[in-house]
Chains A and B, each alone.
Chain A
Amino acid sequence: MIVVALRGASVVAFLLLWEWAARVPISFNFPSPGATLTALLALLRSGALLTATLTSGQSLLLGMGAAVLVGVPLGLVMGVVAPVGRVARVYLDLLIALPTAALIPLVILSFGISVASSAVIVFVFSAPFVTMNAYGGVRDVRPRLVEMARSFDASWGQLLARIVLPSALPMILAGVRYALSRAFVGLIVAELLLSPFGLGRLIMTARSMFEHDRMFATVLWTLLMAGAALAGLARLEARWLRWRA
């Protein structure tokens, strides 16, 4: 009860603060919550927002799909073949520490301005985390379970499919979810820089035309979409991993 009240109160407080900031106004570029909502509805009705969302979603799916298809097997190999793991881990550590956004100009130069280059950027932002968690998941497999399976004369394939993969699954899925959140960051930076399509373009167009209500609306929508995607993935994860309860 109190929990819900406090959480609700903080949302109300935020909206009030926003309204106040728009009334002062702290900047002429600062629309009120009401104006933002109106702009959001208009953008939704015109279809512009949905088209942009679909375009962004396309890059995201392509890039994330590739990251999972490459990252999971790579992480498994790293975990099973120890020397590969030790070496590849160094590159991964560097990639994870590197501000990946710095690679965006390079990707744009190589792939041109296209959905493909956005997808590559999504891949570059997400793949290291997918790989790292798959690797960690394999390394955390309980040796006792492997011994147990071996005592039943399990083959390599059986060992991988019945023991290693299920054991590593929670960490792999957590990695995919974190990678998705990073992928959104990268995708949006790329779209803001490239500007020919997607939600980023919508934001930049609105900004260049000083339609700040539309810009705020698109930013809000982007954050909501990302939040919904992450929450959806979390639910899926919880369903697949019911045994962990």
Chain B
Amino acid sequence: MRGRDSEVGRAGVIAVVSLLGAWEMLGRLHLSMFVPPVTDVAVAWWRLLGNGTLSKAASSSLLSLAKGFGPAAVLGVVVGLAMGRFRTVRYLLDGWVNALMSAPLSALVPVLIALFGIRDTVVAATVFMFSFFVIVVNTMTGVRGTDRSLVEMARVFGAGEAALFRRIYLPAALPAVMLGLRLGAVQAVKGMVVGEMLISLVGLGERLIYYGNTFLITELYAVIASVLVIALLASQAVQAADRALVRWK
């Protein structure tokens, strides 16, 4: 639940390289069809990329990701700010937000399908659902964690509600907002995969189901690897934005 920076240090490189090495060796022994050599997976990945399968699936996935995460980020921050600042809004919504944040939202995907039909809109909606609440909660926590004496200080200098928001609450909440967006981005990719697997129509999720059903293990691993890369890139992108915006820490 807490944001942890993945260590890109030496230990990280050693760990990943040795995992891939061990995997490759196990794979070469042909112990099990579920452990194909890493090189085979890489070859499959290259082939899928070359014949357009992967890029077509990935672009559909990324589009759904953007269509779901964009609104979730904007709305999540707005709702979070309002909940943090105004008690009325908080009491109206906090029960729902807390319950839905830890709820198995995957159960709602069939409801989305009932509403929208089997379409990629369902994927975007799932992405939204998965990422929205964590953004709201982190933003709200950030606003509520604003140092009270900063607020008093600004009021002494005559700050009204708008100035308080712009000059105190917003900058004070920014680190928490960025953390929420990072956790939200990770959740969004999870929502994307879940949504696509359940509608089984487009994107990388559909490929996962397809290769699973057709026993194409190496291709399956190639898609899993692509999904992992997208998840890491999404989290890194938000982290880069975070570093650019929050320099004072």
Contacts and interface: CB of A to CB of B under 8 A. Distances in A.
B227 A6 contact: no
B104 A188 contact: yes
Contacts of B106: 185-186, 188-189, 192
Contact of A90 (B11, B194, B197): B11
Nearest to B34: A110
Contacts of B215: 109
A178 B1 contact: yes
Interface residues of B, number: 58
Interface stretch (B46-54, B147-155, B171-179, B185-193): B185-193
Given A105-B211, A223-B103, A29 B114 contact: yes
Interface of A is mostly: helix
B91 A2 contact: yes
A226 B104 contact: yes
B41 interface: no
B12 A90 contact: yes
Contact of A97 (B205, B208, B231): B231
Contacts of B248: none
Interface residues of A, number: 61
B192 A99 contact: yes
Interface string B32-43: 001000000000
Interface stretch (A40-48, A67-75, A150-158, A214-222): A214-222
A99 B194 contact: yes
Given A106-B224, A187-B104, A101 B110 contact: no
21 contacts: A10-B92, A87-B15, A90-B11, A93-B4, A93-B6, A94-B228, A97-B228, A97-B231, A98-B227, A101-B190, A101-B193, A102-B223, A102-B227, A103-B224, A132-B4, A185-B104, A185-B194, A186-B106, A192-B198, A203-B110, A227-B102
